[in-house]
Structure 1
């Protein structure tokens, strides 16, 4: 079976979920880059939330936020890329992983929301895409059949 036949056998809801996962993954990459590029804004936010911190503590906290954000969003980028590839297999574990990971990512988005206003405009958009992935992988009959027939 060639790549064209495989793509055509993947139902449209699953294809849409894969496209959204690619966009969510791209979002994770952009977030990590923006955090690194706007470390000064992170420092300002830390200073506003913790006025008792000295300059060294603020700098260290910002560095930790950038590194941990890069690691966290890097892992989510890799997971999204893996799911973009593996969902086409129709294996049930790929659907479960997509659903669980995207729901957890929505929850983590609320944590990010509460920790910094830097991404308030982006978090709801990414969360909507993640919830759409869950719906597309779970609700439409063609998607359910695709994952139960494999």
Structure 2
């Protein structure tokens, strides 16, 4: 007697796949941001000097170094989080959708701080923010996405 085993693979629906792809793009932005900050450190020093004319050259340089280092750490954490979420969303576990939602919405809020502190990324912040809001919408609004995550409850 011949028996066959049927393995059913639950593939993520299109909205979840698109959200995962956008998370990868957001992750790339978190990779590039510290590199751009490092490459544009002289412009960053000029901005700090113009915003704080009472700072001496050493203090301006130290402030720029701190901004680049803290930016690299912050964006490094967000890079790892986005990559992990892009990978784990395919499991349809509800916590992955909640964490992706919270992290992307908080990133949009943090972008306001970046916007107000430096014009260095003004061209990119609205684009990345729109992608992050779209990620949230794709995970919650379309029926196939809601059903995908509801199966795991």
Question: Same fold by TM (over 0.5)?
Answer: yes
How far apart are the structure 2 equivalents of 1:78 and 1:35?
Answer: 19
Task: Give deviations 1:101-122, integer Å, cap 9, x for gaps.
Answer: 0000000000000000000000
Q: Are 1:148 and 2:150 counterparts? A: yes
Coordinate RMSD, CA, aligned = 1.1
Distance 2:34 2:17 in 1: 26
1:65 match: 67
Cα distance in 1 for partners of 2:102, 2:151 equals: 21
With structure 2 as the length reference, what TM-score do the two structures score?
0.93
Structure 2, unaligned runs of 5 or more = 1-6
Aligned residue pairs, count: 146
Q: Which residue pairs with 1:87 in the alignment? A: 89
Corresponding residue number in structure 2 for 1:108? 110
Structure with a larger share of its residues in helix = 1
Please list every run of at least 4 consecutive aligned residues from structure 1 whose deviation after the TM superposition is greater than 6 angstroms: none
Query: With structure 1 as the length reference, what TM-score do the two structures score?
Result: 0.95
Structure 1 counterpart of 2:37: 35
Deviation (angstroms), 1:89: 0.2
Give unpaired runs (5+ residues) of structure 1.
none
